Amino acid sequence: MRIVLLGAPGAGKGTQAKKLIEKFVIPQISTGDILRQAVADQTQLGKEAKAFMDSGGLVPDSVVIGLVKERLSQDDCKKGFILDGFPRNTAQAETLDGVLASVNMPLEVALSVDVDFDVLLKRLTGRRTCRSKDCGQMYNIYFSPAKKEGFCDKCGTELYQRDDDKEATIKKRLDVYKAQTEPLIDYYSKKGILKRVEGVGDIAEIFNKICAILK
């Protein structure tokens, strides 16, 4: 299964990807997670990316595309993958199509998780994330709190709030989504692989709807 997850910041791409990787036993490739890890590790990549991420803008295509190409070439992607947060503009989508065509592994589904903009702000300000890079589970202080406040249910690691989940940055991220990423819905629709799911309601119910779509 080769899937792209589309959706605005806070739509639940990461939340659903965590469930999908368990069910389908394929890797999640989240460019946001890879970049945040690089920032935390203070690598050259992290230093380049940080200012773009803190402002809510996109990291340059050349940087992100290089990352994804490298990740897709690893063995565990041969049986499929879930791209989360990539592609984010038409140039990235076109490059991805070229890369996958060259290895004869075209995308099968682009799944858009649709959530109204007014819901997203509360989701993002309330988000807390597990700091463990092997886990990275998301919680929400309003909608899906951890059992023990501040710690991950799955692995016990402390939870943190993302630097870009501040109100002003969230607004910028939503603007960038509208201008640059939303057009990809049309892009994949024209290719005949677009599916859509309503991303509001119970997380498990949304997951069931996604599984039905992917069958």
Closest separation in Å from C-beta 146 to Zn ion: 9
Which one of the listed residues 131, 162, 166, 172 is annotated catalytic?
Answer: 162
Q: Which of 14, 27, 87, 136 binds Mg ion (CB under 5 A)?
A: 14
H helices within the chain, ranges in order?
A: 13-24, 31-41, 44-55, 61-72, 90-102, 117-125, 167-176, 183-191, 203-214
| 164 Cβ contact list (under 8 Å, min separation 6) | 53, 54, 56, 170, 173
Binding status of residue 58 toward ligand AP5 by CB under 6 A: yes
* 155 near Zn ion (CB under 5 A): yes
In the stretch 120-149, what mask flags binding to ligand AP5 with x, by CB under 6 A?
---xx-xx----------xxx--xx-----
Is residue 86 involved in binding ligand AP5 (CB under 6 A)?
A: yes
Q: Of 39-47, 72-80, 81-89, 184-192, which segment contacts ligand AP5 by CB under 6 A?
A: 81-89
Measured between alpha carbons, how far is 215 from 211 in angstroms, rounded to an integer? Answer: 6
Of 35-43, 85-93, 102-110, 136-144, the window that binds Zn ion (rule: CB under 5 A) is 136-144
State how far the Cα of 50 lies from the Cα of 56, in Å rounded to an integer: 10
- Please give the distance of CA 105 from its chain centroid, rounded to a whole number: 20
CB atoms within 10 A of CB 138: 19
Nearer to Mg ion, 14 or 199 (CB): 14
Question: Catalytic residues, which ones?
Answer: 13, 88, 127, 162, 173
